[in-house]
Amino acid sequence: MPAPYVYRFGSQRTDGAAAMKNLLGGKGANLAEMCRLAIPVPPGFTISTEACTAYTQQGRDALLAMIDAEVREGVAAVEAEMGKRFGNAADPLLLSVRSGARASMPGMMDTILNLGLNDEAVAGLAARSGNERFAWDSYRRFIQMYGDVVMGLKPTSKEEHDPFEVVIDALKTQRGVKLDTELDAADLQQLVQRFKSLIHSRLGRDFPTDPWEQLWGAVLAVFESWNNERARVYRELNDIPESWGTAVNVQAMVFGNLGDSSATGVAFTRDAGTGEDLFNGEFLVNAQGEDVVAGIRTPQQITLEGSRRWAELALVGEDERRATYPSLEELMPGLYQELLAAETTLENHFHDMQDLEFTIQEGKLWMLQTRNGKRTGAAMVRIAMEMLAQGMIDERTALLRVTPDRLNDLLHPVFDTQALKDAVPIARGLPASPGAATGQIVFHADEAEAWSKGEKGSGKAVILVRQETSPEDLRGMSVAQGILTARGGMTSHAAVVARGMGKCCVSGAGAVHVDPKARTMTVGSVTWHEGDWISLNGSTGEVFDGRIATKDAELSGDFGKLMALADRYKRLDVRANADTPTDATVARRLGATGIGLCRTEHMFFQGERIQAVREMILADDEAGRRRALAKLLPMQRGDFEGLFRAMDGLPVTIRLLDPPLHEFVPHDDAGQQAMAQQMRVPVAKIKRRVEELHEFNPMLGHRGCRLGITYPEITEMQARAVFEAALNVQAEGLKPFPEVMIPLVGSVREFNPQAAIVRKTAEAVFAERGAKVHYLVGTMIETPRAALVADSIGSQAEFFSFGTNDLTQMTMGFSRDDAGSFLPEYVKKGIYEQDPFRSIDQKGVGQLVELAAQKGRSVRPDIELGVCGEHGGDPASIGFFHKAGLDYVSCSPFRVPIARLAAAQAAVG
Ligand code: ADP
Ligand code: MG
Ligand code: MG
């Protein structure tokens, strides 16, 4: 017998389980698991992801042949449990059709509710429910969703937004009412007629009246939607492979809009923003689930505590709160207790914070979804550490619970309190996703993209301001500094997506009037235009006029505990790439145990130094160069002293001059004129020297140790500066550990003469001073040849530091700066799984790393092995370096905590 494609769930029989996510998708697997836990779930069945794959590969007819019988059996089982028949006009069983991939993709795939309605069934529904308005409202919602998702009726212009809403607005105007809720049954019936005509006139097809035709259309549309634009964007942003496919869940409808004893809501077992262990969430009385997410009405809080906190933020007084926005705990205490029991069961069962959807139909609670809740980086850390303390998870799990990159949220700057003093608050919304953001207003997602791109990434900082966001806005949201919406609650689309992205968001700022057509935002009598600056505090919900300075975050508490835990488990050391004492101090505060790369040339550009550097470049002979270098020596020495002090007791790896000399001279006329004047040399001489320095391919030109080979006096000066600085700092009672690194070596015969200069200079300085420091001389492994002959180089070099940026460029044969024109296409086409500059190409470049490490160790067992390329801060690459047996990674200061956690995960994973 072939494997089944359909898996049932319900109170009678449940085939699936939480462990079957790959097959049933996250939603389907967890619906099944809830049934197993005896939590009330409307019965239904899941069509597996394998069916999606079959559909993609073999098409519609083949799929239908495979699953038809199983689907019919599944519907029959639901009919039996609900005591209603699908397609029975007198008392119709209505279904929801819900997509659900392995990884939750909020808002990505489209759900269809109330499926099974037609002109006859709507009458049956009205008669059975005794609620004609409800019946017609259900029908018009169904047509609206089905018309959009399955039949593909899309807006014809940007302004239209939603063609069905245009029809609704027209009817409301005609009837002289403001709210949807003011439309009566006859109006809704009218809407149904108008929707059908709209569909007919725009699409040339009729709305399907046969329930089975409706069902198959919806199922196929879900499979189809796996490949729609917005799903693809989300997958791209989240590294979800296309091959996974989505499952489809077909489930009996329950109704939260059957009057005042019905409701629908969303809840979190802990606070998704802060991580606080507090059950919380929002609900709406007499509403369907989509109403909560769409953010059209102001939702009420589930718990009394949450309700009080909300009222304080929203500036709602206690009397008004109790009268207009009571909590579920107050309004329906019995059902609240049931919900509380379910949330406790689910969190204890899954050992993680759950994000729940529920509906109450005429006093009966139904759970519609549970999943591990999305959360901010801060919440991730707090929940992991508190669950560890509560004995719910072990240390290993706690470490794996935090996505390293999300630590970025905690490291993000907050507003400078001083600057905040003068800030003018203009409105307040909900603290939907924490952090501080400042930027220029744009009103459309595509403009957010255009503005933020700019030239070579030097784009503008934008704040996307919307009435409310929808999945179409995803790209724009991902490039904005922050998001402000006028409508919507803590679980609105904007809020959920922003938290997922770790992006500052203020939602539901009701006082803000947004006019996307006019490109203005108005509060009271004041208007802001596109391009004006505003600032958002996603932690308090405040909106400010103008640009506000930000400052660094605090790193104690749960964050500190997590880092301490990570340090106990990790084997890799984490150093930082830092060129200045300030960077080094930041890195140390963030837990770096050394500097893995100090780029000495970065010191050459500051102030008067560049002049001495240019003198050296222009010099006609060695004597001239030495005169210029003598001026640089004290400056460079001073820099190193600062670094050694900041890194007292820890190693500091100093790379000798690396970039080609033409980077230090001006290439434009005006710059050359100025240089000529300043240095009192003819401009022609400068032009000539610049021409001489011109290279066709600077990346492969006169750079790295090739400079030191041709101009040994540069190496000598730099080595002298290092050792004099080290002795000076040692004399202060500190412990400097210099590691001098020779760049771009490809042969031991390049390494040896450079190492000899460094060692000879060290001995000379030690003799002059009558004191010594411990030091190492090593090399970068960044050319493929160096990796191939690493045993011969390792016999002379005391450490290797993998320069994985250059190593990647030279191994792949394309430069990072030029790859932009084709690499994204390559990744899209799957030629490379990802950008090899972002995450190391383990199969190719990685082999060279492994080979060199092994060859180095074979000749020098205690050789120190590290990584100083960008990959040193990339969690996936760190996992690889751990496996390759390296000693440390080095990354930019703000990635140090991320690298520490990633290193620990590599060790326990
Ligand atoms: P998403 O993946 O976007 O959360 P869902 O499949 O959960 O989409 O459905 C969207 C909304 O539709 C949910 O908020 C839920 O409340 C509602 N819904 C889904 N299935 C049912 C059902 N069987 N009965 C009532 N409402 C439902
Ligand atoms: Mg859902
Ligand atoms: Mg390099």
The Cα–Cα gap between 852 and 781 comes to 8
Residue 426: per-residue pLDDT:
94
Catalytic, out of 52, 504, 868, 891: 868
Tell me, in angstroms, the distance from the centre of ligand 2 to residue 258's CA. Answer: 20
Q: How many helices (DSSP H) and strands (DSSP E) are in the chain?
A: 37, 31
Tell me, in angstroms, the distance from the centre of ligand 3 to residue 859's CA. Answer: 24
Name the residue type at position 718.
Q
Share of the chain above pLDDT 70, in %: 97
The Cα–Cα gap between 601 and 272 comes to 45
Tell me, in angstroms, the distance from the centre of ligand 3 to residue 803's CA. Answer: 6
- For 766-813, the pLDDT digits (tens) are 999 999 999 999 999 999 999 999 999 999 999 999 999 999 999 999
Give the number of the ligand closest to the Cα of residue 96: 1
Give the number of the ligand closest to the Cα of residue 108: 1
- For the CA of 95, the closest atom of ligand 1 is 23
Can you spell out the DSSP letters for 426-453? Answer: EEE-EEEE-SEEEEEEESSHHHHHHHHH
Cβ-based burial of 713 (10 A; exposed 0-12, middle 13-18, buried ≥19): middle
Average pLDDT of the residues in 1-21: 92
Can you spell out the DSSP letters for 752-765? Answer: HHHHHHHHHHHHHH
Residue nearest to atom 13 of ligand 1 (CA): 289
Residue 701: per-residue pLDDT:
95
Which is nearest to 74 in space by CA: 258, 212, 178, 269?
Answer: 212
The Cα–Cα gap between 195 and 140 comes to 8
> Per-residue pLDDT for 291 more than 60?
yes
Residue nearest to atom 19 of ligand 1 (CA): 96
- For 753-768, the pLDDT digits (tens) are 999 999 999 999 999 9
The 3-class SS string of 508-569 reads CCCCCEEECCCCEEEECCEEEECCCEEEEECCCCEEEECCCCEECCCCCHHHHHHHHHHHHH
- For 376-406, the pLDDT digits (tens) are 888 999 999 999 999 999 999 999 999 998 8
**What tokens were used for 507?**
């939602």
Which of 81, 97, 98 gets mutated to test ligand 1 (max ligand atoms within 8 A of its CB)? 98
Give the number of the ligand closest to the Cα of residue 660: 3
Average pLDDT of the residues in 654-670: 93
> Per-residue pLDDT for 179 more than 90?
no
Which of 117, 358, 369, 492 gets mutated to test ligand 1 (max ligand atoms within 8 A of its CB)? 369
- For the CA of 358, the closest atom of ligand 1 is 16
Which is nearest to 150 in space by CA: 80, 223, 86?
Answer: 223
Cβ-based burial of 381 (10 A; exposed 0-12, middle 13-18, buried ≥19): buried
Pocket of ligand 1 (CB under 6 A): 42, 96, 98, 106-107, 111, 113, 251-254, 264, 289-290, 293, 357, 359, 368-369
Share of the chain above pLDDT 90, in %: 76
Average pLDDT of the residues in 5-12: 96
Average pLDDT of the residues in 554-576: 94
Tell me, in angstroms, the distance from the centre of ligand 3 to residue 744's CA. Answer: 6
What confidence tier does 456 reach under pLDDT thresholds 50, 70, 90? very low
Tell me if residue 704 falls in helix, strand or coil.
coil
Domain 6-252 has CATH 2.60.40.1180: no
CB-based neighbours (< 5 A) of ligand 3, an ion:
782, 803, 806
**What secondary structure letter does DSSP report for 696?**
S
Domain with CATH 3.50.30.10 in the chain: 413-551
CA dihedral 892, 893, 897, 899 (to 10 degrees): 20
The Cα–Cα gap between 688 and 618 comes to 10
Catalytic, out of 412, 493, 871, 882: 493
Residue 694: per-residue pLDDT:
94
Residue 828: per-residue pLDDT:
81
- For 498-511, the pLDDT digits (tens) are 876 768 999 999 99
Which of 148, 357, 496 gets mutated to test ligand 1 (max ligand atoms within 8 A of its CB)? 357
Residue 31: per-residue pLDDT:
98
Tell me, in angstroms, the distance from the centre of ligand 1 to residue 159's CA. Answer: 28
Q: What share of the chain is helix, strand, coil (3-state, %, to 5)?
A: 50, 15, 35
Residue 161: per-residue pLDDT:
80
- Of 42-56, 273-287, 604-618, the one with minimum mean pLDDT is 604-618
- Rg of the chain's alpha carbons, rounded to an integer? 32
Name the residue type at position 797.
A
* Fold designation for 570-660+695-908: TIM Barrel (3.20.20)
**What secondary structure letter does DSSP report for 487?**
S
Residue nearest to atom 18 of ligand 1 (CA): 289
Helices (H), 390-511: 395-401, 407-411, 417-421, 445-453, 474-479, 493-501
868 is catalytic: yes
The count of C-alpha atoms lying within 13 angstroms of the C-alpha of 426, restricted to the half-sphere facing its C-beta, is 22
Tell me, in angstroms, the distance from the centre of ligand 2 to residue 321's CA. Answer: 28
Domain 263-375 has CATH 3.30.470.20: yes
- End-to-end alpha carbon distance in the chain: 38
- For 516-527, the pLDDT digits (tens) are 999 999 999 999
> Per-residue pLDDT for 320 more than 50?
yes
Give the number of the ligand closest to the Cα of residue 266: 1
35 is catalytic: no
Helices (H), 83-184: 119-129, 132-149, 163-175
Which is nearest to 833 in space by CA: 844, 821, 818?
Answer: 844
Give the number of the ligand closest to the Cα of residue 356: 2
Residue nearest to atom 9 of ligand 1 (CA): 111
- For the CA of 249, the closest atom of ligand 1 is 6
Asked whether 282 and 299 are in contact (CB, 8 A), the reply is yes
Domain with CATH 3.20.20.60 in the chain: 570-660+695-908
- For the CA of 107, the closest atom of ligand 1 is 3
The Cα–Cα gap between 575 and 639 comes to 19
- For the CA of 100, the closest atom of ligand 1 is 2
Residue 892: per-residue pLDDT:
87
> Per-residue pLDDT for 412 more than 80?
no
Residue 820: per-residue pLDDT:
81
Residue nearest to atom 23 of ligand 1 (CA): 253
Tell me if residue 807 falls in helix, strand or coil.
helix
Which of 113, 257, 370 gets mutated to test ligand 1 (max ligand atoms within 8 A of its CB)? 113
Q: What's the order of all strands across the beta sheet hosting 246-252?
A: 6-9, 44-47, 246-252, 95-101, 112-115
Positive or negative torsion for Cα 345, 346, 348, 354: negative
- For the CA of 42, the closest atom of ligand 1 is 23
The owner of tokens 């730099």 is 718
> Per-residue pLDDT for 90 more than 50?
yes
The Cα–Cα gap between 453 and 825 comes to 18
> Per-residue pLDDT for 717 more than 50?
yes
The domain 413-551 is placed in CATH, from the list 3.40.50.980, 3.50.30.10, 3.30.365.10, 3.40.50.300, at 3.50.30.10
- Displacement of CA 676 from its chain's centroid (Å): 49
Domain with CATH 3.30.1490.20 in the chain: 6-252
Average pLDDT of the residues in 28-40: 97
Tell me if residue 33 falls in helix, strand or coil.
helix
- For 608-651, the pLDDT digits (tens) are 788 999 999 999 999 999 999 999 999 999 999 999 999 999 99
Asked whether 858 and 797 are in contact (CB, 8 A), the reply is no
The Cα–Cα gap between 124 and 133 comes to 13
Mean pLDDT estimate for the chain:
92
> Per-residue pLDDT for 829 more than 80?
yes
Tell me, in angstroms, the distance from the centre of ligand 3 to residue 781's CA. Answer: 9
The owner of tokens 């939260």 is 256
The count of C-alpha atoms lying within 13 angstroms of the C-alpha of 163, restricted to the half-sphere facing its C-beta, is 21
Tell me, in angstroms, the distance from the centre of ligand 2 to residue 370's CA. Answer: 8
Tell me, in angstroms, the distance from the centre of ligand 1 to residue 657's CA. Answer: 60
- For the CA of 254, the closest atom of ligand 1 is 24
Most confident by average pLDDT, 413-427, 458-472, 479-493, 888-902 = 888-902
Cβ-based burial of 574 (10 A; exposed 0-12, middle 13-18, buried ≥19): buried
